[in-house]
Amino acid sequence: MGYHLIVDRKDCTGHGACYSAAPDIIDFDDQGYPVITAEPIPDDQLDFADNAVGACPERALTIEER
């Protein structure tokens, strides 16, 4: 169990604010869309993940506990 970043691909427009806010857990693909690189989110990265969610102008990111 842990926290996971979820990207809503239909809402994401590839602004890049999320991976700027959390570069240790979010990368980007060759089209500029986010790729989550740490699942579950490490405890020391939760604040960065939360910042990434808040930085997304499209609100295409969420954090879920699973």
pLDDT for 44 equals 97
Tell me which H or E stretch contains 48.
helix 46-55
pTM above 0.85, yes or no: yes
Taking residue 38's Cβ as centre, other Cβ atoms within 10 Å add up to 16
Quick check: 23 pLDDT over 90?
Answer: yes
Alpha carbon distance 57, 16 (integer Å): 10
- Which residue type does 36 have? I
**Cis before 23 (ω within 30):** no
Q: All domains of the chain, ordered by start, with CATH? A: 3-65 (3.30.70.20)
Tell me: pLDDT of 11 over 90: yes
Task: Give 24-62 pLDDT, tens digit per residue.
Answer: 999 999 998 999 999 999 999 999 999 999 999 999 999
CA separation for the pair 40, 31 (Å, rounded): 24
pLDDT of 47: 98
